[in-house]
């Protein structure tokens, strides 16, 4: 019977529409963003483009809660991380990287690619990092040039205690503080200036609900005064800053994506920071309630509000389960690295709303049942609705 | 009287439409590209996206006239140049850079940023590079790891003798041959395999008529076997190749721009290579005829078909003239570096057709006259039309 449902649902989906994006980015584009991107180009070396860049810069500063520069780069979120690293780490001093997931370890990969010594704070995947352990490591390495932290770990769904981690860096080290806020800024209250962050990185395909292709790096005055000695050309942030102060970019920018970003930031500002954080929290809480009602377990011991990582039930193939969800019309992400096939990841970023949570959970119910896992249809969805109703 | 025309035309433009792009990129987007970019996202880790990447890869191979891999990167054309350099140059051997313009010298800037020794073949701006001089330089530096050449120099409008330059590198050196084809591939017959090019770079905002934000790098088997030792992470082409063989990318790609690229490559293939080259030649020839009829001089002694660089008449301020053109509804580029204010640059790339040439010339006629330069209205346009009519 499960197979029958699956087949007919697949046919309906394949012929009628694209699968809905309920993974932790990229996320569905709002209509205003799509229409903005369809606009005819303007030349970037014009006052009209400079006006857009200035508006975008103000919007980014608002979202970052900062008075510092937030630079726009063309590239993925990882481009932003690499930019922070190659400008603010050094060849003659270690970086301390807080581990715990694929994206946390990416900082270490970047550093090693540039020959920088990495001191890794080992964190079990699925667990939150310990501020105390970080403090001890920093005292053992007083010449640390930079500390890297991933605020919410997208590969595991973990919310690290970012306030406490930042505080311990500030209190017990002179190192620059580089933070991957790719699935944290806009999801929760994460003020760059309040936390004393020196370089805060985000990417366009998460909270902004813009396609991938833009990275944003907020940089503190302290960081500007301590530019490092690693080689860089396209990611030279000092050159970018000199141009972006004038509403320009050092190289041809992804103009259409910046049109989309302008539209997206207007939508976010209309909603407001607290409403934005609240929406992410409600979607995540409802998803967790639905998952629990289906008898499934969370992977993360400290779940964040950006992505819910769910353990695949014993006996099921997680890769096949994600594929089944895709065929049924929902892109739910699988696990990465050694978690491949072991977890599913449902996102709650940017444009996601109640309907996306319900679509993800109802698709998951159908997919589980079609693969022989017992499901009381509506139980997960019902628990999520109850949570929405109460919030 | 000039001022009156200018003012009324400006008002009409400001209230009615965007200025037409007749600079050497970015160029106007075809409707199919704009609509493709407005499409809802699909997730990049899906078979649907892999199918698009495979189609795009085939289209790029067709345009490059190559059987080798052509990789897609997120970034500007300069990102593609940097990728070629950091993968195929070496820390322990010089690169020979053929100079002659802002973009030719960019190769040298990138190399120096990574600590690579640069041997520069000095070429006066506006002149074509000498294959003989390049051959002599290569014999004087037998340990050269790579030679960089910019096929058409966008800053000066020069067409370098790319076939002869490539041949001399092949004959007199074992160095890898890195070519900036950003305003040459698709403009003229430039076959990567036929010329023995090891890394051929282009960018989305030129011939493709896609917004800026994608760079393309074709890589030869020879180059893959000689990966260098410079530090790289996001621009690690070996990692990209491993993923792009499977229709994937190493990092989140600019999905919407790739939608646009897919549409653009379909348009280009429909037109055909020879028709494409012919269209660029006709637009460039007509522009040169129009410029001559207006009594203006070309800057380049060897003009290319991608961009026509025109000397600003004595006594006129070139920056003000470009601004006047913008106000009159045409984005014509000014000069760069020491040519700022000295030249104007009219582009003929990708989506440009007869109407764009006529718009550029007629706007230039109005702008010149409004700034007090004597113009017989219609003379430039007429000469261009005559040239189109004859071709």
With beta carbons under 8 A apart, name residues in chain A contacting B307: none
DSSP β-bridge partners for residue B177: B147
pLDDT of residue B180: 98
pLDDT of residue B8: 44
Among B263, B307, B370, which residue's Cα sits nearest to residue B2? B370
pLDDT of residue B350: 95
Q: State pTM to two decimals.
A: 0.96
Number of other CB atoms surrounding residue B7 within 10 Å: 12
With beta carbons under 8 A apart, name residues in chain A contacting B76: 74, 234, 251-253
Q: Which residues contact A54 (CB under 8 A, 6 or more apart)?
A: A247
Q: Are B190 and B344 in contact (CB under 8 A)?
A: no
pLDDT of residue A391: 87
Chain A neighbours among B 121-180 (CB < 8 Å)?
Answer: none
Domains in chain B: ranges and CATH: 2-22+272-390 (3.90.1150.10), 31-271 (3.40.640.10)
Query: The tokens of A198 are what?
Result: 């020196």
> B55 exposed, middle or buried (CB, 10 Å; 0-12, 13-18, 19+)?
middle
Q: Which residues contact B23 (CB under 8 A, 6 or more apart)?
A: A43, B331, B332, B333, B345, B346, B347
pLDDT of residue A6: 44
Contact B113 A236 (CB under 8 A): yes
Burial annotation A2-38 (CB, 10 A radius, 16+ → b, else e) = beeebeebbeebeeeebbbbbbbbbbbbbeebbebbb
Band of residue B106 on the pLDDT scale cut at 50, 70, 90:
very high
Q: Touching check for A231 and chain B: CB below 8 Å? A: yes
pLDDT of residue B18: 83
A2-16, A318-332, B159-173, range with the lowest pLDDT: A2-16
Q: Which residues contact B272 (CB under 8 A, 6 or more apart)?
A: none
Chain A residue at shortest CA distance from B26 = A43
Look up residue B298 and give its DSSP letter: B
- Which one of A26, A232, A331 has the shortest CB-CB distance to B255? A26
- How close does chain B come to A233, measured CA to CA in Å? 6
pLDDT tens, A49-101?
999 999 999 999 999 999 999 999 999 999 999 999 999 999 999 999 999 99
Contact B45 A333 (CB under 8 A): yes
* Residue B359 vs residues B290, B343, B367, B391: alpha-carbon distances, Å: 12, 18, 12, 19
Chain B neighbours among A 306-325 (CB < 8 Å)?
Answer: none
Number of other CB atoms surrounding residue B161 within 10 Å: 17
Query: The tokens of A243 are what?
Result: 């141009």
What interhelical angle do B273-293 and B354-370 show, nearest 10? Answer: 20
Chain A neighbours among B 10-49 (CB < 8 Å)?
Answer: 18-19, 21, 23, 25-29, 34-35, 37-46, 48
pLDDT of residue A17: 63
Percent of chain A with pLDDT over 90: 95
- How close does chain B come to A211, measured CA to CA in Å? 6
What interhelical angle do B379-390 and B354-370 show, nearest 10? Answer: 160
pLDDT tens, B300-354?
999 999 999 999 999 999 999 999 999 999 999 999 999 999 999 999 999 999 9
Query: The tokens of A276 are what?
Result: 């934005």
With beta carbons under 8 A apart, name residues in chain B contacting A28: 40-41
Band of residue A201 on the pLDDT scale cut at 50, 70, 90:
very high
With beta carbons under 8 A apart, name residues in chain B contacting A115: 231
Which of B49, B74, B113 should we substitute to test contact with A (largest number of A Cβ atoms within 10 Å)? B74
The average confidence (pLDDT) of chain B is 95
Number of other CB atoms surrounding residue A52 within 10 Å: 19
Percent of chain A with pLDDT over 70: 96
Chain B residue at shortest CA distance from A27 = B41
Among A105, A80, A164, A171, which residue's Cα sits nearest to residue A129? A164
Number of other CB atoms surrounding residue B315 within 10 Å: 8
- How close does chain B come to A44, measured CA to CA in Å? 8
Contact A211 B21 (CB under 8 A): no
pLDDT tens, A240-268?
999 999 999 999 999 999 999 999 999 99
- How close does chain B come to A182, measured CA to CA in Å? 13
> B344 exposed, middle or buried (CB, 10 Å; 0-12, 13-18, 19+)?
buried
> B229 exposed, middle or buried (CB, 10 Å; 0-12, 13-18, 19+)?
exposed
Query: The tokens of B295 are what?
Result: 């009594």
Q: List the end-to-end C-alpha distance of chain A, in Å, as a whole number.
A: 36
The average confidence (pLDDT) of chain A is 95
- How close does chain B come to A283, measured CA to CA in Å? 21
* Cα four-point dihedral sign A181, A185, A190, A193: positive
Gyration radius of chain B over CA positions: 21
Q: Which residues contact B333 (CB under 8 A, 6 or more apart)?
A: A45, B23, B24, B307, B322, B344, B345, B346, B347
Band of residue B17 on the pLDDT scale cut at 50, 70, 90:
low
Number of other CB atoms surrounding residue A317 within 10 Å: 12
What is the ipTM metric for this complex? 0.95
pLDDT tens, B80-105?
999 999 999 999 999 999 999 999 99
Q: How far apart are CA A251 and CA A262, in angstroms?
A: 19
pLDDT of B16 above 60: no
Chain A residue at shortest CA distance from B115 = A231
With beta carbons under 8 A apart, name residues in chain A contacting B331: 42-43, 46
pLDDT of B2 above 50: no
pLDDT of residue A7: 46
- How close does chain B come to A241, measured CA to CA in Å? 17
- Which one of B113, B230, B254 has the shortest CB-CB distance to A254? B254
Contact A82 B233 (CB under 8 A): yes
Q: Touching check for B205 and chain A: CB below 8 Å? A: yes
Q: Are B173 and B145 in contact (CB under 8 A)?
A: no
pLDDT tens, B194-222?
999 999 999 999 999 999 999 999 999 99
Count the residues in chain B: 391
Residue with tokens 């509403």: A247
Q: How far apart are CA B357 and CA B391, in angstroms?
A: 15
- Which one of A28, A43, A76 has the shortest CB-CB distance to B74? A76
pLDDT of residue B12: 44
Query: The tokens of A17 are what?
Result: 């529409």
pLDDT of B241 above 50: yes
Q: Touching check for B231 and chain A: CB below 8 Å? A: yes
Chain A neighbours among B 82-101 (CB < 8 Å)?
Answer: 82
Which of B35, B41, B48 should we substitute to test contact with A (largest number of A Cβ atoms within 10 Å)? B41
Query: The tokens of A202 are what?
Result: 């985000």
- How close does chain A come to B201, measured CA to CA in Å? 15
* Bond from prior residue into A26 cis (ω within 30 degrees of 0): yes
User: Which alpha helices (DSSP H) does chain B contain, by range?
Assistant: 2-16, 31-37, 47-64, 77-88, 102-113, 131-140, 162-172, 192-195, 221-224, 237-244, 255-271, 273-293, 318-327, 354-370, 379-390
pLDDT of A223 above 70: yes
Size of interface A-B (CB pairs under 8 A): 178
With beta carbons under 8 A apart, name residues in chain B contacting A21: 41-43
pLDDT of B287 above 50: yes
pLDDT of residue B391: 87
pLDDT of residue A236: 98
Q: Touching check for A288 and chain B: CB below 8 Å? A: no
> Up-side HSE of residue A310: CA atoms within 13 Å toward CB?
31
Number of other CB atoms surrounding residue B27 within 10 Å: 27
Chain A residue at shortest CA distance from B336 = A45
Query: The tokens of A101 are what?
Result: 């997931």
Q: Touching check for A2 and chain B: CB below 8 Å? A: no
- Which one of B41, B110, B251 has the shortest CB-CB distance to A28? B41
């Amino acid at each position: 019977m499960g197979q029958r449902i699956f087949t007919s649902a697949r046919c309906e989906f394949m012929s009628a529409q694209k699968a809905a994006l309920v993974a932790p980015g990229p996320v569905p584009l709002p209509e205003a963003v799509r229409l903005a991107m369809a606009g005819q180009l303007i030349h970037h070396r014009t006052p009209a483009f400079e006006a857009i860049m200035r508006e975008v810069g103000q919007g980014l500063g608002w979202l970052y809660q900062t008075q510092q520069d937030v630079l726009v780069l063309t590239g993925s979120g990882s481009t932003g991380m690499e930019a922070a690293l190659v400008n603010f780490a050094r060849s003659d001093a270690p970086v301390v990287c807080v581990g715990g997931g694929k994206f946390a370890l990416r900082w270490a990969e970047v550093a090693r690619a540039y020959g920088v010594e990495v001191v890794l704070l080992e964190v079990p995947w699925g667990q939150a990092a310990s501020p105390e352990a970080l403090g001890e490591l920093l005292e053992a390495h007083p010449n640390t040039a930079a500390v890297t932290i991933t605020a919410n770990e997208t590969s595991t769904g973990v919310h690290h205690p970012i306030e406490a981690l930042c505080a311990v860096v500030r209190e017990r080290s002179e190192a620059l503080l580089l933070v991957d806020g790719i699935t944290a800024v806009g999801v929760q209250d994460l003020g760059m200036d309040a936390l004393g962050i020196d370089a805060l990185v985000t990417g366009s395909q998460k909270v902004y609900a813009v396609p991938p292709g833009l990275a944003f790096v907020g940089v503190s005055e302290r960081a500007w005064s301590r530019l490092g000695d690693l080689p860089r050309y396209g990611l030279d942030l000092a050159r970018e800053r000199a141009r972006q102060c004038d509403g320009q970019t050092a190289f041809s920018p992804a103009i259409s994506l910046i049109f989309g970003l302008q539209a997206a930031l207007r939508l976010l500002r209309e909603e407001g920071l607290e409403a934005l954080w609240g929406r992410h929290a409600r979607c995540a809480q409802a998803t967790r309630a639905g998952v629990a009602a289906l008898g499934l377990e969370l992977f993360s011991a400290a779940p964040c509000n950006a992505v819910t990582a769910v353990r695949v039930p014993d006996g099921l193939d997680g890769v096949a389960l994600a594929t089944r969800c895709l065929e049924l019309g929902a892109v739910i992400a699988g696990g990465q690295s050694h978690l491949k096939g072991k977890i599913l990841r449902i996102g709650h970023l940017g444009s996601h709303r109640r309907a996306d949570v319900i679509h993800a959970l109802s698709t998951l119910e159908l997919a589980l049942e079609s693969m022989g896992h017992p499901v009381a249809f509506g139980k997960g969805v019902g628990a999520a609705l109850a949570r929405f109703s109460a919030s």
